[in-house]
Chains A and B, each alone.
Chain A
Amino acid sequence: MIYQTHAEAEDVSPPIPILALDGITKTFPGVKALSDVSLSLYPGQVTALVGENGAGKSTVVKILTGIYQPTEGRILADGTETRFPTAQDAADAGITAIHQETVLFDELSVAENIFLGHAPRNRFGLIDWAAMARMSREILDGIGAEIDPGAKLRDLGIANKHLVAIARALSIDARVVIMDEPTAALSHKEIQELYELVEQLKGQGKAILFISHKFDEIFRIADNYTVFRDGQFVGEGKIADVTNDALVKLMVGREVANIFPARPPGRGDVVLEVENYNHPTEFADIGFCLRSGEILGFYGLVGAGRSEAMQALFGITRASGGTIRIDGQEVTIRATADAANNGIVYVPEDRGKQGAIIAMPIFQNITLPSLSRTSHNGFIRLAEEFKLARDFTERLDLRAASLDTKVESLSGGNQQKVVIAKWLATMPKIIILDEPTKGIDIGSKAAVHEFMAELAAEGLAIIMVSSEIPEVLGMSDRIIVMREGRIVAEVAHDDMTPETLVRHAAGIT
C-alpha cells in the first residue's frame, strides 16, 4: 500500500496535460502530413511548436480545432481519450485558436465579429447588443487594443483585424489557446501587449500553444518546446534547458546530401541587375544581380517579401522606385506583358490560384502566354500551337492521355509541369520559380529539380524562391536571405549551411 501511494505521487508530479496528442498520423491522398507525432499542453504553461514551413504545424492546429480528423492516434483531454468531429466540438471542449490567416467578416462590426456564434442573449432570446458592446469593450481593453467595438471590420487595418481575431479567441471561455504566428502582422508595441496577455492567460491556468518562427519570441514567452520536422516529432523539453543553437539544429538537422542533381556553378554574364528596388509597403532596398546559367536562391520566412519583390519584377504589382537592367539595358516593367517582352517569366507559388486554368486543355494552357507566336492576325494556327505544346510537354516528360486533356484531371505534379511548360514556352531569359515544388510528391520534386538544373545548364538565369531549406541549399549557387521586406544576407556557395540561413531569416544574432 505504502509503496503504491508513493508510486502514484511520483506519477502525478508532472501535471496531467489539459490536452495532448498521442501518436497522431494524418495522411492526405499521396502525402503524409503528420507521422506519429505527440504534443502535450499543460495548464498555466506556454508550449512553443517549432518547425520549418511544411513541418506539419498547421495540420496539428487543424486537428486540435476539429477541422481535420487524425488518420491514426489519440487526442487526450485531461487524460481521457476524446474526439473533435467538428470545429464546434473542439470549441465546446474549450479550445480556441488565433489562426495565421484570420477568418473574419468584413461587413460586420468588431463586436459582431468577436461574438459571432456565441452572442450574449437577453431574456427574450434575442441578441443583447448592449451587453455585446460592453463585453467587447472589456476584452479589447484587456489586450490594450484601441478599437471601437461598433466599427465595421472592413475599416480596420490589418494589425487591428488581427487584434480582433485575438479578442474573438478570448471571448470564448477557453482552457486551451492556440496562437498560430500571432505576431506576424503586429507592431512592436502590440507585440509587447500580446506578451502581457499571454502572461495573464498563463496566470489564469490556461494552456497555450504558441507557434512562431521568431526565436526571440519563443525564448521570451515559452516554457516548453516541441519540435517537428517533415511531419515527424523530433524532440521536446523545457525552454530553460535548451539553447538557440540546439533548437535550430533540432529544427533543420538532417542530411542534405545527394538527392539534388550535381551541377557546375553558373558563371555566365550578368543578365539581370536590380538596384535599390522599393515598394511603399512590401519591400525596400532590394538589390542583386543574376548571371545566366545561375540558380539564385531566395530564402526567408513566409511573409518576408520575397514573392512580393518577384511579383513586382514580373509587373503584377508596381514598384515605387529602383532600377532594373537586363543585359545592361535599363528597362521599365509596368505590366506582365513588359516583363514577358523582356524575357522575364514568373511561375507563381499557388498553382491553384495563379497558375493553370484547370477547365482548359493542357495545350491551351501551355500556349496561352505565347499565343502571339503561334497566331497570325489574331487567328491561331492550330498545328503550330500543338507543336509548341508538344515540344514542351515532351521536354518536361509530362504524361497525359492527350494534350486535349483538361488540366483538372491531372495530378498536382503534372499540373505543376503544365505551368512550368507554359512559361518555358515563352522562351524566357530569366525564370522566377516561386516555391517550385511546394505540395508535390517526392518523385515530381526530383523531376522539377532535374529540369531546373538542365535549364541552368542551357544558360537560363533562374531565381528560385523557396522556404524549404534542403531545396534552397541543394539547388542554389548563391542564396539571398530576406527578412521583413529587406535583403539581410547574401550567402556564397561555400558558406551555405542550414544554420546560417535560419539565423539570418529569423534574425538571431
Chain B
Amino acid sequence: MLKRLVTSREAILLGAIVVLLGLIATRFPAFVAPANLANVFNDTSPLILLALGQMVVILTKCIDLSVAANLALSGMVVSMLNVVAPGVPVPVILVVAVGLGTLMGMFNGLLVWKVSIPPIVVTLGTMTIYRGIIFLISNGKWVNSHEMSPAFKAFPRAAFLGLPVLSWIAIFAVIAFFVLMTRTTLGRAFYAVGGHPHAAVYAGINVGRTQFWAYTLSGALAGLTGYLWVSRYAVAYVDIAGGFELTVVAACVIGGISIAGGLGSVGGALLGALFLGVVSNALPVINVSPFWQLAISGGAIIIAVAFNAQANRTKGRVILKSAEHAA
C-alpha cells in the first residue's frame, strides 16, 4: 500500500517541498521550526479540504469552479444564522454549513449528470449564481467579528493535542479521503470513470451518477470550509475567497492530478496544497514580493503540467502501437 501511495510523482513533489523549505531556512531559519510549520499547515488547511473535493471531481473528468462561491455562500448563511440566533450550538452550525454545501454540490452534479451540460459551464454558472445569492441575502453587508458569538469564532481555533481543530479537520479529511479513494467501491468508480468512461460503462458503472457524487463531496467540503473560513477570519462578506477556486485547481494540478481525469491521489492533492501553502506563507517572510509569489505558483503549475504531459506521452505511444496492430 505504502509503495503505491508514494509513486514517483508524489515523491518528487515532496522532494520539491523539502528543497523549498531548505532554501527558505537559509534565509529565515525560524520558518522551519516545528511550531511555525504547524502554523503553515493550519493556514493551508482550508486549501487542503477544498483540494480533496476538487481532486475527486477532476478525477472524473470534470471541474468544480464553484467551490469558492459555495464556501462564501455557506459561510455567509451560517454567519447570518449566528447573528440572528447566537445560541445555536456549533454542531448545528456545522450541519447547516455542510448540508448547504452538499446541496450546492448536488445541484452542480445534477446539471452535469441529468442535463449533460459541460462541467466547466455548469460550475462557471453556479459560481456566479452562488455569489449573487450572497449579495441578495446579505444586501452586500458584512458580518463582522463583533456580531459573531464567541463560540462561533472559537471552534476552529480551539487547541486539541497541540493543534487547532481546523488542522485536525484537515488531517481527518485526508485520512477519510485516503480510505475512500483506496478502499471503497465509490473511490474505485471515480478512477474508472475518469480513466475510461466507456470501459466503466461496460463494467456496470453509471458514469453520470459517479460524477454527481464527486460534485456532492466537493460541495460538502466547500460548505464545511465555508464555516471554518468565516469563523477563523471572523468576517463574512460577498467576496471572501474570491478567486480561490483557481488556487484549489492549481493545488490539484501541482499535485499531479491529471486534468484529463483518472490519474491522481490523495497524497498528491495534499502535497500540491502544501506546496502552495509553503510558497504563500514563506515568501512574504523572506521579503519576496507578492508578484514573485504568483510567478512561483504559476511556474509550479506549468512544470507540473509539463510533467504530466511527459508521462502521458509514453502512454500515447503504447496505444498507437496496438492501434497499428489492428490496422
Contact = CB atoms under 8 A, between A and B. Distances in A.
A39 B138 CA distance: 79
Contact of B202 (A354, A412, A438): A354
A303 to B, nearest CB: 16
B196 interface: yes
A364 to B, nearest CB: 6
A134 to B, nearest CB: 38
A357 B195 contact: yes
Interface stretch (B25-33, B242-250, B298-306, B315-323): B315-323
A273 interface: no
Interface stretch (A86-94, A217-225, A345-353, A494-502): A345-353
B325 A412 contact: yes
B321 A368 contact: no
B16 to A, nearest CB: 23
Interface in A403-449: 404, 408-409, 412, 415, 422, 438-440
B202 A346 contact: yes
B327 A316 contact: no
Contacts of B321: 28-30, 412
Given A316-B201, A336-B201, A352-B322, A358 B196 contact: yes
Interface stretch (A146-154, A175-183, A248-256, A375-383): A375-383
Contacts of A30: 321, 325
B198 A438 contact: no
21 contacts: A58-B327, A62-B327, A340-B204, A346-B202, A356-B196, A357-B199, A357-B200, A358-B319, A359-B191, A359-B196, A359-B262, A359-B263, A360-B191, A368-B200, A369-B202, A375-B185, A378-B186, A380-B184, A404-B4, A408-B318, A409-B318
Interface of A: 28-31, 33, 58-59, 62, 314, 316, 335-337, 340, 346, 348, 351-361, 364, 368-369, 371-372, 375, 378-380, 382, 404, 408-409, 412, 415, 422, 438-440
A356 B83 CA distance: 55
B183 A379 contact: yes
Nearest to A337: B204
B325 A357 contact: no
Contact of A371 (B185, B318, B324): B185
A371 B322 contact: no
B8 to A, nearest CB: 12
A358 B318 contact: yes
B198 A353 contact: yes
Task: Output the residue of A359, A369, A438 with the most chain B CB within 10 A.
Answer: A359
A269 to B, nearest CB: 27
Interface string B168-196: 00000000000000011110100110011
Contacts of B161: none
A412 B188 CA distance: 24
B326 interface: yes
A336 B198 CA distance: 12
Contacts of B319: 352, 358
B288 interface: no
Contacts of B326: 438-439
B202 A316 contact: yes
Which 9 residue pairs across A and B have the least CB separation, nearest first? Answer: A439-B326, A439-B325, A357-B195, A357-B196, A369-B203, A28-B324, A368-B203, A337-B204, A412-B322
Does more than half of chain B's interface fall in helix, strand or loop, or is it mixed? helix
A418 to B, nearest CB: 11
A358 B185 contact: no
B308 to A, nearest CB: 12
A380 B191 contact: no
Nearest to A346: B202
A379 B184 CA distance: 4
Contacts of A440: 325
A364 B190 CA distance: 12
Nearest to B324: A28
Contacts of A404: 3-4
Given A359-B263, A369-B203, A378-B186, A351 B322 contact: yes
Contacts of B188: 364, 368, 371, 380
A432 to B, nearest CB: 12
Contacts of B184: 375, 378-380
A2 to B, nearest CB: 52
Contact of A354 (B3, B183, B198): B198
Interface string B1-36: 001100000000000000000000000000000000
Contacts of B315: 358-359, 408
A357 B185 contact: no
Contacts of A379: 183-185
A409 B314 CA distance: 9
Nearest to B3: A404
A31 B86 CA distance: 75
